[in-house]
Chain A
Amino acid sequence: MSLQAFQQALTDLVMSPALRARIAEDPPGCLAGYDLSDLEVRRLAALARDPRVRTPTLLHRSFRLSMLANTLPRTCKALGPRGLRDLMHAYWGEGPPRTMQYLKEALRFAEFARGSLRDGSFQNAFLEEVLETEIAGLTLGRAGLTWEPGEHRVPDDLAFRVLRVHPACRVIPWRHDPDAVLAALDGGQPLEGFAEGEHCLLLAATGAGKLTSKAFGPLERRALLAAGGTRTVGDLCAELDLPGRVFVDLVGGGWLVA
């Protein structure tokens, strides 16, 4: 019997309407896992039947949802009302919030969403690419690195160089045209009629938490995703059947560096 156990039970009861319903049906059985006094069981049983407890439940969920709406607004839009509701319910069922830090909550949700897509328990054609773009933006913006736009010198011996993506940039593979999808999301348009293809979006940190983005097509996507290994530009051109000018342009733009 302790205040701590009572508060754990009260918190669970506030966060979960399903638990509340079960406690209302069978208080001693459902509360047996908590070390409670008779008075505390009586209190919780009464609260489980009290419709006014719905309000803090609503506020708790609003708070939790607001953390994601603030950090992952396009993801929330891409999910749509029904998808958002279904995925949130599944996510909230996984466990209570551990933090008031928006970034940490966003990363935890992203992990859950990835898992749901992987195991097929949730399906949405746009979720992965929109989510990964927003997560990359959140982490990149806080990394303190800066990418400088402009013309960058291309080494004469580029074919023998091993390239990597600029450390202040992130490349996110897309199955749809990122510019068109993001414009639709920002304009409140439905995500319909987008053909699948090989695209990618490159995010670059330009300082003071600001980001810029650039969409690329299939050739650049292959080059950007292949960079970062041990193979030279010459090897990559041969293996991926890419023209050398793709790498010249990406190095000249400052997105790939030696």
Chain B
Amino acid sequence: MTSPAPTDRLAGLPRLGVGLSYQGTLRRFVLEHLDSFDFLEIIPDIFWADQGRGTAGRFRESADAAPFLAQVAAAKPLIAHSVGLSIGSGDPFDAEHMEQIAAWQERWGFPWHSDHLSFNRLEHASGHFIDTGVTLPVPFDTEVLDLLCERVDRVQSRVPVPFLLENNVYYFEIPEQEMSEAEFLNRLAQRTGCGLLLDLHNIYTNARNLGFDPWEMLGSLDLSRVVEVHLGGGMEVDGVWLDAHSGPCPEEVWVMLEEILPRAPNLSGVVFEMFGNYFPQVGPEPLLAELRRARQVLERRAA
């Protein structure tokens, strides 16, 4: 059904270095600190208003999107990390969203693009399409793997740059799954040739909350498929560690990054994520420090 993409497709990607995940409140920071990162990762969906499936002119671009993105793109590469495909949804595949991403890839020249291995949009029993606002896990079953492989193939056939899927953060485990997360990700990447966006803070959060060994998971993953790594911080609320993107990265996550580098030959970018609502409280200095630290780690690897 699916055939792996050429193995050198990921190896041929540009090594971009350290990226910053863009949020609206970071606009000024981005423009004032262009030297602090090597590329900007954008969530395309925040630059348009989605009018819903089947609507004419469905993706209404905000007026200030193009001028801002053009300004940044003149200085730094842009990467797309979407939240809108909901690729794990049991609903029919959202080809309109894929077309929109394809159009933006052509327009902004993303070297690769990514989305989340989860679902957040679906047609509700009420007859309305809903958005949970939270990426919910899919069962790691063969049926879901088959569905995802077919969809990843569609995306890769349409968008002419590598497509990555990000391991999800989940606060509960679906019982009686047919395979582990690592096995599921390995099979998905092997069958489709897609890349992985390895969110280390997601693994840290899942492991901490669900009580599994993150090193065992990382040891089972085929890290040659990893093109991008996400770093971020969180916070503990009522005994639960939240993937809140609220501040500095935990030390354990930095250790994970150092440890996986020798096994991730196709790693092309390390992105630090901070949600926009925390930035006004945290300020620019901690963000700059995290970006500097990520750069130091990558420079040690290169040396």
Interface on A for B, CB 8 Å cutoff?
2-8, 10-12, 14-15, 33-34, 39, 42-43, 46-47, 50, 52-53, 55-56, 58-60, 63-64, 66, 95-101, 103
Min CB–CB distance B293 → chain A (angstroms): 28
> How far is B130's CA from A98's CA once the two chains are assembled, in angstroms?
4
In chain B, what residue has the closest Cβ to A43? B175
Question: Is B129 part of the binding interface, using a Cβ–Cβ cutoff of 8 Å?
Answer: yes
Asked whether B303 is an interface residue with its Cβ less than 8 Å from the other chain, the reply is no
Question: Chain B at the A interface: mostly helix, strand, loop or mixed?
Answer: mixed
Pick the contact of A56 from B122, B136, B176 — CB < 8 Å? B136
Asked whether, in the complex, the Cβ of A47 is within 8 Å of the Cβ of B172, the reply is: yes
Question: Are B130 and A60 in touch, CB under 8 angstroms?
Answer: no
Assess A99 versus B131: contact at CB under 8 Å? Given A3-B90, A50-B172: yes
Contact with A along B179-211 (1 / 0, CB 8 A): 000000000000000000000000000000110
- Kindly state whether residue B251 has any CB partner on chain A within 8 Å: no
Q: Return B153 CB to nearest CB of chain A, in Å.
A: 18
Interface check B174, CB cutoff 8 A: yes
Distance, CA A74 to CA B19, complexed state (A): 36
| Contact (A100, B91) CB under 8 Å given A56-B172, A95-B126, A95-B128 | no
CA distance A97 to B130 in the complex (A): 5
Quick check: is B114 within 8 A (CB to CB) of the other chain? Answer: no
Q: State which of A5, A7, A15, A60 has its C-beta within 8 Å of the C-beta of B119.
A: A7
Q: Whole-angstrom distance from the CB of A115 to the nearest CB of chain B?
A: 17
In this assembly, does B50 line the interface, its C-beta being within 8 Å of a C-beta of chain A? yes
Could you tell me if A64 and B90 are in contact, using CB atoms closer than 8 angstroms? no
- Taken together as a complex, chains A and B put the C-alpha atoms of A239 and B22 apart, in Å, by 58
A99 to B121, CA, bound (A): 9
Of B6-14, B102-110, B139-147, B157-165, the one touching chain A: B139-147
With most chain A CB atoms within 10 A of its CB, the pick from B128, B174, B242, B277 is: B174
A11 with B242: in contact, given A43-B139, A52-B209 (CB under 8 Å)?
Answer: no
Query: A7-B119, A11-B122 are known contacts. Are A47 and B174 too (CB-CB below 8 A)?
Result: yes
In the bound complex, what is the Cα–Cα distance between A15 and B12 (angstroms)? Answer: 43
Given A42-B176, A46-B175, CB of A99 within 8 Å of CB of B52: yes
Interface residues of B (CB under 8 A from A): 45, 49-50, 52, 89-91, 119, 122-126, 128-134, 136, 138-139, 143-144, 147, 171-172, 174-176, 209-210, 237, 240, 242, 277
Contacts of A47 in B (CB 8 A): 172, 174-175
A254 to B124, CA, bound (A): 48
State the CA gap A43–B178 with chains docked (Å): 13
Residues from chain A with Cβ under 8 Å of B174 in the complex: 43, 47
CB neighbours of A4 from chain B (8 A): 89-91, 122-123
- Across the interface, name the chain B residue whose C-beta is closest to A67: B133
What separation, in Å, do the CA atoms of A42 and B174 have in the docked complex? 10
Q: Is the CB of B176 within 8 A of A43?
A: yes
A33 touches B125 (CB 8 A): yes
B130–A11 touching, CB < 8 Å: yes
Q: Are B125 and A8 in contact (CB under 8 A)?
A: yes
Which residues on B sit within 8 Å (CB–CB) of A6?
90, 139
Taking a contact as CB atoms under 8 Å apart, the answer to whether A98 and B172 are in contact is no
Q: Known interface pairs A7-B136, A11-B132, A42-B175. Does A96 touch B126 (Cβ–Cβ under 8 Å)?
A: yes
Residue of B nearest to A94 (CB): B126
Determine how close the nearest CB of chain A comes to the CB of B48; give it in whole angstroms.
Answer: 10
Q: Which residues of B contact A46 (CB under 8 A)?
A: 175
**B213 → chain A closest CB, angstroms:** 18
- Does B171 lie within 8 Å of A56, measured CB to CB? yes
Q: Show 13 A/B contacts (Cβ-Cβ < 8 Å), sorted by A.
A: A3-B90, A3-B143, A6-B90, A11-B124, A15-B132, A47-B175, A50-B172, A53-B172, A60-B134, A95-B124, A97-B131, A100-B131, A101-B49
6 interchain residue pairs of minimum CB distance = A4-B90, A63-B133, A3-B90, A55-B171, A52-B172, A96-B130
Which residues of the partner chain B approach A103 to less than 8 Å between Cβ atoms? Answer: 49
State A5–B91 Cα separation when bound (angstroms): 9
**What B residues does A95 contact at CB under 8 A?**
124, 126, 128
B132 with A3: CB separation less than 8 A: no
Chain A residues whose C-beta falls within 8 Å of the C-beta of B119 in the assembled complex: 7
CB distance from B278 to the nearest CB of A (A): 12
Instruction: Give every chain A residue within 8 A of B242 (Cβ-Cβ).
Output: 55, 59
Nearest CB in chain A to that of B121: its residue = A100
> Contact at B144–A97, with CB atoms within 8 Å?
no
- Considering only CB atoms, which chain B residue lies closest to A34 in the complex? B125
Q: Please give the distance in Å from B170's CB to the nearest CB on chain A.
A: 8
One of B45, B89, B143, B210 near A7 (C-beta < 8 A): B89
Chain B, residue nearest A60 (CB): B134
Min CB–CB distance A182 → chain B (angstroms): 22
Chain A residues in 8 Å Cβ range of B130: 11, 96-98
**Min CB gap A157→B, angstroms:** 40
A residues in contact with B237, CB < 8 Å: 58
Quick check: B240 and A8 within 8 Å, CB to CB? no
Q: Given A11-B130, A55-B242, A98-B131, list of 9 further CB < 8 A pairs?
A: A3-B143, A4-B91, A14-B134, A14-B136, A60-B132, A96-B132, A97-B131, A97-B132, A98-B129
